[in-house]
Amino acid sequence: MALEIRRPEMTGRAPLVDGFQRRITYLRLSVTDRCDFRCSYCMPEAMKFLPRSEVLSLEELHKLALAFIARGVRKIRLTGGEPLVRRDMVELVQALGSRLGHGLDELTITTNGTQLALFADRLASAGVRRVNVSLDTLDPALFEKLTRRDRLDKVLEGIAAAKAAGLKVKINAVALKGLNEAELPDLIEWAHAQGHDITLIEVMPLGEVEGDRVDHYLPLCVVQDRLEERWSLSPSTHSSGGPARYFDIAATGGRLGLITPLTNNFCAGCNRLRVTATGQLYPCLGGGERVDLRAAMRSDNPEAMLDAALDEAMQIKPERHHFRIDARGAEPSQPRHMSMTGG
């Protein structure tokens, strides 16, 4: 059933401002917890996914997004799991795409790329201009080790299709000690040679995984020092509206982002909220605070209940995360996996 194309009532409702006077303008909306990969730092091989009955319908995801736009959210990133494994998700992109210029400034997506070749053209025609593709290595053997799937070719095909469709691609790579550590300069050079920005991300301690995160946590201050021995990294004023700090690298002709939750906290400038595919609003990636938007939406007075729920989220949003990866065998900072909140 096609989603109804309608403008959100810009009724001058109060913008979302939290207890630390941070204005929330960015929603990361997970449309599924399912994924066709099993990345070792994200989820266990035998990951148990949610029954479909618990996941929001397309109509509910759409209504929810409108409620956020009506409260001043300007950027929506669709995430997963892997968002493109949810087949009807393109309808949501098309419906939300019609908001661009009507309360919404940007609609984007984070994907692992395997389905991108199938959807790139439709994403572009729906108004998506940029996509983030998660890619930690160009080495097929390491790729299979990290994702537990032999699909590097599919991802590279997807990236090429996105570029051909006119989408601006940004590569997101998790920096992993002893795994892709030595390859990072080559990955950066490859991305820039393709005309793609690339962002390196520190591992975050979310959910139980096999092995110990201490073994693969690589502080990006260490990586930055090494890269500066090779290239001049000029700080850039560029912002994607997310937590990355950007640098221009004249030698490779491209832009490098660093997302450093553990070595350079960025919570003071937080502008975002996350909603899971089951309609649970997490005001902070690193916090356990949660507001049930699904219950609000399925109540007798969904609009008012949703509004009240968003107000509650502003009251309980914590100042910052308290991520740590410094003790072997330590509990993760949060029991839920990254795939639940879509990063």
Binding site for ligand SF4 (CB under 6 A): 243, 266-267, 270, 272, 284-286, 320-321
* Residue of 241, 271, 243, 240 whose CA lies nearest to 16: 271
Cβ nearer to ligand SF4, comparing 185 with 318: 318
Q: Minimum distance from CB of 136 to ligand SF4 (Å)?
A: 21
Number of neighbours of residue 199 by Cβ within 10 angstroms: 22
Q: How far is the CB of 316 from ligand SF4 (least distance, A)?
A: 12
Q: Which is nearer to ligand SF4, 126 or 338 (CB)?
A: 338
Q: Which is nearer to ligand SF4, 134 or 147 (CB)?
A: 134
Which of these, 83, 188, 89, lies nearest to 137 by C-alpha position? 188
Q: Least distance (Å) from ligand SF4 to the CB of residue 297?
A: 22
127 in helix, strand or coil?
Answer: coil
Please name the residue ranges forming H helices in 126-284.
Answer: 140-147, 152-164, 184-193, 220-230
Shortest spacing between CB 326 and ligand SF4, in angstroms: 17
Give the residue with the Cβ less far from ligand SF4, 78 or 179. Answer: 78
Question: Given the complex with ligand SF4, which of 182 and 268 has the nearer CB atom?
Answer: 268
Half-sphere exposure of 220 (CA within 13 A, CB side): 22
Closer CB to ligand SF4, residue 195 or residue 288? 288
The b-or-e profile of 253-284 (16+ CB within 10 A means b, else e) is ebbbbbbbbbeeeebeebbbbbbbbbbbbbbb
Burial class (CB in 10 A: 0-12, 13-18, 19+), 98: middle
**What secondary structure letter does DSSP report for 236?**
-
When the beta carbons of 167 and 270 are compared against ligand SF4, the nearer one is 270
Distance CA 78, CA 89 (A): 9
CB of 324 to ligand SF4, least distance (A): 13
For β-strands 168-174 and 130-134, DSSP reports them as: parallel
Query: C-beta of 272: minimal distance to ligand SF4 in Å?
Result: 6
Query: What is the token pair recorded at 311?
Result: 């107000």
**C-beta of 41: minimal distance to ligand SF4 in Å?**
17
